[in-house]
Structure 1
Amino acid sequence: MENSIKYRLRNAQNKIHKTQNTLKPIFKLCNECNKKRKHLDESYQFCHLCYKAKTVLIPSGNKAVDDFIKYTRINWDVTDATFKMEFVPYDRFTDIKFIAEGGFSKVYKATWIDGPITSWNYKKQKYRRQGKMFVALKELNNSNNITSNELNELKVFYDFAIRHQKSSIVYEYTESFYDFKHYLDVNNHYGITKNPITQNFVIITDYCEGNDLAHEMANYFGLLWYQKLLILESTIHKLEMIHNVNIIHRDYHSGNILISNDFSSNLCDLGISKSAMAHDDEIYGIIPYVAPEILKRQNYTKASDIYGFGMIMWELMTGRRPFWDQDHDIDLIIKICDGLRPPIVTNAPDGYIELMRSCWHSDPNKRPTATELREKIVIMKNNEPSVNCDGRTKIIRSPDIGPIKSINPGAVYKSRSLSTMIKSAETTRSLESIDSEISKNDNLTVNDNDYLTKELELDIDNNASFNDSKDDGNDYVTEEINFDI
């Protein structure tokens, strides 16, 4: 007993001695960022963040890029969070192979020789790196003179990561660095590089094995409904995550959802995503996935993304893309604004079709939220057997469902600017409304052969047009965190 007490006292004294010899961090005003932060020792003129940033910052040749990267490295006082950006020389990538082309960029697979920063080596006074890894390089078209606004994808990712931490989402400390990737489930962005041949800037992101949902749709048509609901659960959960921090995707379709072998999904292409309070006159997207209120030039809301999710539900149900058999033109825009939706041509688990239709509601206020959708999809999934057995929802075979070999050549499934087409559709729809009103007056029945002398009055502003319900849609937007990095 006496020996045990002596051991405990000696052990406690050792701990006290160690504590007394531990160097306390020095906090003073930084000459670079002008913030009172920890300095590594008394001789440094810079805080620990600015000092470390200087060891990794490389000029890109573009002030907007350099300012943003520096901002991410010194703005937030977490030493080595993986979402802090850097400019990487193009020669640090090898085995660059073309993968795909979108409406605004080309995507390549490459090997990053050094890999991203992981932690700070205090002994060598430089960053440690992960080492060789596969990445995706997204080359932005015509971006040689990129502006701050055109860095939106990187800004949205950074803003998303910051808001997650500030909303107290738990992050994990793994070995020597803070690893945010396990909860983001949005394609991790490491920074930017520049193609020396095209002079275009290139965003560096995670490379995800597998394919996007649009390209896998033919393979997924024969899946059990349990597996399809797994995909939808993961997909809506990722949308819920960005909505929870008040970010709207604005280009939400199956081509922007990456699917892995275990049916989990990853949300990508945040290029035109914005804060829920941001407004922009330019409209981009794929017509079948664009909500009718957007086609009427109203503001984007979270409900606009939900409309696109409803189209993804239809794809998984039928194995086809919405409006695959039609030209994606002004006429289709008008039809969608007038209520056209894809046909219900097959069966689905109980409640599925009703939930899908609720996503398509013409009134964005009556669409479910991402959280409500996830909760209902989980219930459906839990009611479906996970193996091929009695009790599962069987797919009724029909020539109207299943993969198809060719689509209408006028169907465009790449994101593009739609503003000009939408304005033309607005004009056409307004003129049709006027013609309809004139036709009604022409068909007036005159009794007793009386001569009709009443003047025909048309108030164009009061006719049904794209702007009729514009203000109603704005009521859906509430005060939210301003997105301005």
Structure 2
Amino acid sequence: MQFKWCSDCYLISSGYIESNLTKKLISIIYFPWWEDNSNCYCGELLVFTSNCQKYCENCFIFFIGCRYCLTTNIIFGITNQSQCKKCKRVTTIILDSKKIISINSGNSVLDDFLVSIRSYQSEIAKFTSVIKNIDKCFAPSEINNIFRNRHKSSRSLMKYIPYSKFTNVKKIAEGGFSIIYQATLLDGIKYDFRTENILILKKFKNSQYAEEYLLRELMSNHYGYTDNRNFYVHMVVNTYGFTKDPRVDRLDSYILVMEYAPSGDLHKYLQKNFTEIDWRKKKLVILFNITNGYLNFKHIGK
């Protein structure tokens, strides 16, 4: 049996409040029920900071419940207070400031990017349209599914990772624009239900290269994965975010954090294994995967 709720008795609404992190307006949704899910819309487990508060460390959505009215405010960003729509009680949001380091690198352009990829604006616009035309009777799951359908994979969103979390940093290659290092991340990166500890750090050789390529690579990798259901996009090395060399105070101090490919780059792999790879089973498959991965990223933004 499926229970339906009366839209006259249980009014759903939305609005905006100011983020105390970015000083910009962020969206808030007022649910007339107690939201008891343990997982965020992105699939990550929520962190409970009290009996009435929980949030997602991946996309920083906050679920603030009112214990008096059994309602829930869902806040899409970081702020310090939440007010119940029904009883007007104000609740102070509990959040350790150390937890927001993943979207607070100190560079305003890069931080705006990190905040923007956690935005649910298109889903909120759809939500607003739905509640305006909601049926007399509805199920809460119909509303929640608007946000849950947004995520196409289990990958965590890009983030800023403090340089102090990396150990065993060693140079392994150098190209025309960048220097490649291998490093161990203490806590690891969660990706597709596994944890990666050995990662690649890609440091641009100067500020000019960093200004031209850093943000572009972050954006292309993020949108290539999140906006594409094609399997072959996963043939491209993933970028998990970036870190910053604390010894340098320039743009080239920001370093891409990328997936480690144990077999090396394609050139080294072919040099080592070319005679053992037959055309029918391996070489054409490699070429096919590279072509599809390239096409997926080439059409980003078009």
Which residue identity is paired with 1:196? Answer: P
State the Cα distance separating 1:159 from its structure 2 match: 1.7
State the Cα distance separating 1:100 from its structure 2 match: 0.5
Please, which runs of 5 or more residues in structure 2 have no aligned partner?
20-24, 31-61, 67-71, 80-94, 122-146
2:206 maps to which of 142, 149, 161: 142
Asked if 1:192 corresponds to 2:220, the answer is: no
Distance 2:269 2:282 in 1: 15
2:257 maps to which of 193, 204, 210: 204
1:238 match = 290
Please, which runs of 5 or more residues in structure 1 have no aligned partner?
1-11, 120-128, 171-181, 248-274, 276-480
Map 1:282-431; keep pairs closer than 5 Å: none
Asked if 1:220 corresponds to 2:293, the answer is: no
Seen in structure 2, the aligned counterparts of structure 1 residues 218 and 63 have a Cα distance that, compared at 3 Å, is same
Asked if 1:68 corresponds to 2:113, the answer is: yes
1:47 maps to which of 71, 75, 84: 75
Distance 1:213 1:105 in 2: 17
Which residue identity is paired with 1:94? Answer: T
CA deviations on 1:60-97 (whole Å, 9 max, x unpaired) are 22111111111122257557952521111000111112
Other structure's SS at 1:137 match? strand
CA deviations on 1:11-70 (whole Å, 9 max, x unpaired) are x6xx87xx99xxx99762242454465762356876245579x84345322111111111
State the Cα distance separating 1:139 from its structure 2 match: 1.0
Seen in structure 2, the aligned counterparts of structure 1 residues 156 and 209 have a Cα distance that, compared at 3 Å, is same
State the Cα distance separating 1:192 from its structure 2 match: 0.5
State the Cα distance separating 1:207 from its structure 2 match: 0.6
Other structure's SS at 2:198 match? strand
Counting aligned pairs with the same residue, the percent is 23
Larger radius of gyration: 1
Which residue identity is paired with 1:214? Answer: H
RMSD of aligned C-alpha atoms? 4.0
Distance 2:11 2:218 in 1: 32
Seen in structure 2, the aligned counterparts of structure 1 residues 144 and 30 have a Cα distance that, compared at 3 Å, is farther
Distance 2:211 2:112 in 1: 11
Other structure's SS at 1:66 match? helix
2:173 match = 100
Which residue identity is paired with 2:75? Answer: C
Asked if 1:158 corresponds to 2:203, the answer is: no
Seen in structure 2, the aligned counterparts of structure 1 residues 147 and 246 have a Cα distance that, compared at 3 Å, is closer
Higher helix residue share: 1
TM-score, with length taken from structure 2: 0.55
Other structure's SS at 1:216 match? helix
Distance 1:118 1:209 in 2: 16
State the Cα distance separating 1:223 from its structure 2 match: 2.5
Other structure's SS at 1:164 match? coil
Aligned length: 207
2:187 match = 114
1:359 match = none
